[in-house]
Amino acid sequence: MKMKAALLYEYNKPLVYEEVAVPDFQSDEILVQVKACGMCRSDVQLIDGYFHKYADIPRPITPGHEITGVVSKIGSTVPKSSFKEGDHVVVAPGWGDGTCRHCQIGNTQICANVRWPGFGPYGGFAEYLPVPARYLIKVGKNLKFEELAPLTDAGLTTYRGIKKLRDSGALGPDRVMGVFGVGGLGAYAVQYAKLLGSGATVVAFARNSEKLAVAKEYGADHIINIKGKSQEDVAKELKSATGQSEVDAAIDCAGAQEMVQLATGILGISGHYVDVGLVGDRIDIPLFPRVHREQTIQGSFWGNNNDLSEVMALAAHGKIRHTIKTFGFEEINKQIDLLRSGEIIGRGVLKF
């Protein structure tokens, strides 16, 4: 049996559309028929060679890691009570080795021997992929595939980042939290900040007025357009809006050098900064303010199965809103170009 797949053979070249054999699957795996796959900036970065210096992934690669679909076939050792053909599922990222200390506490996404859908032979830019059964989560059939797909990365990554800020004690009714960057990730971060922020005032910072309008619609208390403004200008505008010129907590959904500098530059005493964005590749910020102000700077990477289960519960209860643009298989390369240039508002989603 054949399937459609978009394959990466060479970096900095368009993906190649092919018909290939539907992959085999192991006894502990499930063959998933992909119904929708979100398109992430890291798909663009993969194609553009961003990750090549960190990992030499054998090619061809099938990109696409925000995956939802339907159980097609079930391996012989998968417990019969777990899944049945036709179940709707989302694919949890970060398939760990199951033996390291990170896997043992559930954080398989930071396993040293991790495997990633979309960063190897199998990904969501194909009609089928094999998935270890333990990395599938069943979802209600009333939920839309195109809305579920982005939640497995854009909606998961920001959720874990906000949880880290909450659990560190950085959020509360007398605190100001900044969401820096309102793209595919930031629109979800604003919503989680309101859901998990314990009454913190939420301010969205971005360069695009249309994206900021989405942030406002999704619950941001204030929005600040930073395009062409100095850090001092932004701080003044922040004080006018909130009564203080610094943020107590920040989630950086861009990770661009200038955004990192802005977010850390207006971070307050004992402030907490979490980065989930990867637009840039290096951080260059002053050290002394980090030390004498006792600030906490940390990364947050994707999320684990428990995080994703919590996100799916929020989705099932109608707590998450989406800005989605769907497209067909033959449009993948076109949509990659649009994402590369920053022209997509919200999340582009491939829908088979």
**In whole angstroms, what separates CA 82 from the centre of its chain?**
27
| pLDDT band (50, 70, 90) for residue 321 | very high
CB 43 within 8 A of CB 61: no
- What residue has token string 């809103």? 321
Does the pLDDT at position 55 exceed 90? Answer: no
| Span 72-101, pLDDT tens digits | 999 999 998 999 999 999 999 899 999 999
Span between the terminal Cα atoms of the chain, in Å: 17
Domains for the chain: give ranges and CATH numbers.
2-153+303-351 (3.90.180.10), 155-299 (3.40.50.720)
pLDDT given at position 272: 98
- Taking phi over 0 as left and psi of -120 to 50 as alpha, with beta for the rest, 312 belongs to alpha
For 86, counting Cβ atoms within 10 Å of its Cβ (0-12 exposed, 13-18 middle, 19+ buried), the class is exposed
Does the pLDDT at position 346 exceed 90? Answer: no
| pLDDT band (50, 70, 90) for residue 186 | very high
Does the pLDDT at position 327 exceed 90? Answer: yes
| Span 235-258, pLDDT tens digits | 999 999 999 999 999 999 999 999
Encoded tokens for 14: 């368009």
CA atoms within 13 A on the CB side of 87: 20
In Å, how far are 226, 258, 265, 279, 342 from 230, measured between CA atoms? 8, 11, 11, 20, 22
Q: Give the pLDDT mean for 156-165.
A: 98
**Helices and strands, number each (H, E), in the chain:** 11, 15
pLDDT given at position 187: 96
| Span 258-301, pLDDT tens digits | 999 999 999 999 999 999 999 988 889 999 999 999 999 999 99
Q: What percent of the chain has pLDDT over 90?
A: 94
| pLDDT band (50, 70, 90) for residue 344 | confident
Give the pTM.
Answer: 0.96
Q: Distance between CA atoms of 39 and 44, rounded to whole angstroms? A: 9
| Span 104-134, pLDDT tens digits | 999 999 999 999 999 999 999 999 999 999 9
| Span 210-236, pLDDT tens digits | 999 999 999 999 999 999 999 999 999
pLDDT given at position 343: 80
Angle between helices 257-265 and 231-242 (to 10 degrees): 50
CB 68 within 8 A of CB 36: yes
Residue 258: CB atoms within 10 Å: 13
| CA nearest to 311, candidates 218, 68, 303, 34 | 303
Residue 210: CB atoms within 10 Å: 10
CB 274 within 8 A of CB 161: yes
pLDDT given at position 281: 87
Return all residues near 146 (Cβ < 8 A) that are at least 6 apart: 36, 324, 326, 349, 351
